[in-house]
Amino acid sequence: MTRFAQTLPDPIIAAKAVPPLPPTGPRSLAVGVIGPGRVGSCLLQQLEAARPRLWHEAGLDLQLPAVVGRQRMWLDCDDPELNHRQDAAQTWRPADLEEFASYLQSRRADAALLVDCSASELVVARYPSWLKAGMHIVTPNKLAVSGPLPRWLEIRRACDSGARLRYEATVGAGLPVIQTLRSLLDTGDQLRSVQGMFSGTLAWLCNRHDGTRPFSVLLREARDLGYTEPDPRDDLSGIDVARKLVILAREAGHPLSLEDVRIESLVPAELAALSCEAFLERLEALDAPMDLALTRARAGGGVLRHVASFDPQEGARVSLQVLPASHPFAHTRLTDNIVQFTTARYGENPLVVQGPGAGPEVTAAGVFGDLLQIAHALPAHA
C-alpha cells in the first residue's frame, strides 16, 4: 500500500464528495421488461441494485412494475406487497403485450419505458403504436433497426410523438459505438467509412487460426467454450455481423438494407442446407479453404480477419480480409469487438472503440445506459 492508498477516503464517501450525477429534481420512470432471458434478467438485477443510488444522487424514481415473457407476465398490481422483489414468489398471469403496455402507461410516473430484450418480431411489430402513444423503447434487439427499411422508417416516424427509441446494445453490447457515431454526426462531422469486427466468435477464430491446428478443431473448441451459437453457421454465415453494419449505416443516414450487404459466408455451399448435426460432422470441409486463405494472407505479410466495412461509395461488405500486420485489427484481444470510424474530422487517423462486445452483463449495461439517457432528459418537477 502506498501513502496515497492509505489516505484515500472510503470509496462511498469519496463518491459522495464528488457527486457523479447532476441532480435535476425528482422524476419518475416506469420500466417494463419484455423478455426476462439472460440479458433481461441481468438488466433487472442491475436496475434493482442501482435504484437507491439513482434516487439519492439523481432524484430518479425508477419503477420496475412489470415483466413479460413468452408465456406469462407479472404486474406488480398483482403483488402489491412484493414491492419489486424479483426474488420473491410472484403471481403470474398469461402474457398479453397490449395489457402489459397499458398497465405500464397507467402507472403514476412521468414516463413509461419498454425494454425489449426479446428476439421477437411480434414485439417489434408493436413498436410504432407504443412510440406513438408516447412510450419510450430501449432494446438490444437488432430486428427493428436492421429489419425491412419501410418498417424502420415507420418506427422512426412514430418518434414524432416525442417518444425516444435507443439501441446502443445492438452493436458491440455495452461499448459506446452508436452514441459515438451519433455524436460525430450531430456535431457536423461526416462519416467517410466504418470498419469493424463485430463478432467475438469470428475474432477468436481468426486470432487462433495460426496454422498449427485445423480450423475445424478450433471451431469445435469455440463451440465447447460457448463462444458460438448452438449451430455455428449462425456465426459463420456473417448475417449477424451484416445486421450490425446495416444499423451503423442507417445511423449515418444511409438507407441500407440487409440485401445490400455483400456477405461472403464462411460456410461452404454444400454444407449450407444440412441439419445442424450433419453440419457438425462435416466441419473438416472448412479446413482447406481456411488454410488457403491463411497461406495467402501470410504470403503478403498480412493477417486474416473477419471484417465488416461500409462506405457510401463502395457499399457494404462482410468478408474475410487480409490486413497489414500494422493494422489495429491485427492486435485485438481474443474475443474483442472493434470499430473504427473514419470521418471528415478523423480523416488521417480514425476514431477507434474496442472491447468485449458480447455477454449478458455488458449487454444489459448498454441497455441501462440508454435508459439513463432517456431518464436524464425527462423534465424535472418543480
Residue with cell 403504436: 129
Using CB under 8 A, pick the residue from 118, 141, 170, 354 that binds its own copies: 354
Judged by CB under 8 A, the stretch of 98-106, 220-228, 286-294, 353-361 that binds its own copies is 353-361
Residue 21 or 82 with smaller CB distance to its own copies: 21
Residues 250-279, one symbol each (x = binds its own copies by CB under 8 A, - = not), give xx-xxx----x-------------------
Query: Does position 326 bind its own copies by CB under 8 A?
Result: yes
Residue 203 CB burial class (10 angstroms; 0-12, 13-18, ≥19): buried
Residue 333 interacting with its own copies (CB under 8 A): yes
Determine which one of 244, 250, 306, 317 is catalytic: 244
Residue 92 in contact with its own copies, rule: CB under 8 A: no
142 is in an annotated binding site: yes
SS3 92: coil
Whether 325 and 303 have beta carbons less than 8 Å apart is answered as yes
Collapsing DSSP states into helix, strand and coil, what is residue 75? strand
What residues from 160 to 199 belong to the interface with its own copies (CB under 8 A)?
160, 162, 164-165, 174-176, 179-180, 182-189
Contact between 353 and 197 under an 8 Å Cβ cutoff? The reply is no
Does the annotation place 37 within a ligand binding site?
yes
Q: Given the complex with its own copies, which of 83 and 187 has the nearer CB atom?
A: 187
Closer residue to its own copies in complex, CB, 72/182: 182
40 annotated ligand-binding residue: yes
Q: Which is nearer to its own copies, 8 or 278 (CB)?
A: 8
Instruction: Go through the chain and tell me how many residues it has.
Output: 382
Choice from 38, 312, 319, 358 touching its own copies (CB under 8 A)? 312
Q: x/- binding map, residues 20-59, to its own copies, per CB under 8 A?
A: xxxxxx--------------------x--xx--x------
**For residue 110, which amino acid is it?**
D
On whether 39 is known to bind a ligand per the annotation, the reply is yes
Q: Does 225 bind its own copies (CB under 8 A)?
A: no
Per the annotation, does 38 bind a ligand?
yes
| Sequence-distant (≥ 6) Cβ neighbours of residue 332 within 8 angstroms | 197, 203, 207, 338, 354
Count, residues near its own copies per rule CB under 8 A: 84
Report if residue 134 touches its own copies, rule: CB under 8 A. Answer: no
16 is catalytic: no
User: Is residue 355 marked as binding?
Assistant: no
User: Helices in 159-302 by DSSP H: which ranges?
Assistant: 178-186, 200-208, 215-224, 233-236, 239-251, 276-281, 287-299
Pick 95 or 323: Cβ nearer its own copies: 323
Question: Which residues in 311-336 are b (16+ Cβ under 10 Å) and which e?
Answer: beeeebbbbbbbbeeebebeebeebb
In the bound complex, what is the minimum distance in angstroms from residue 136's beta carbon to its own copies? 10
Q: Which residues contact 197 (CB under 8 A, 6 or more apart)?
A: 203, 305, 306, 307, 308, 329, 332, 336, 337, 338, 339
Nearest residue (CB) to its own copies, 41 versus 120: 41
User: 103 CB contacts (<8 Å, ≥6 apart)?
Assistant: 32, 65, 66, 75, 77
Q: What is the DSSP letter of 237?
A: T
Stretch that binds its own copies, among 109-117, 279-287, 289-297, 308-316 (CB under 8 A): 308-316
How far is it, in rounded angstroms, from Cα 219 to Cα 236? 10
> DSSP strand E in the chain: where?
27-34, 60-68, 72-75, 93-94, 111-116, 136-138, 165-166, 191-197, 261-263, 302-311, 315-324, 336-343, 351-356
Q: Does 335 bind its own copies (CB under 8 A)?
A: yes
C-alpha cell read off for 34: 419484455
Nearer to its own copies, 290 or 322 (CB): 322
- Least gap, CB of 262 to its own copies (angstroms): 8
CB under 8 A: which stretch of 112-120, 263-271, 300-308, 366-374 binds its own copies?
366-374
Q: List, in order, residues 6 or more apart from 321 with CB less than 8 Å away.
A: 304, 305, 306, 307, 309
Which residues define the annotated binding site for NADPH?
A: 142
Which residues define the annotated binding site?
A: 35-40, 142, 229
Which residues define the annotated binding site for L-homoserine?
A: 229
> Catalytic positions, please?
244
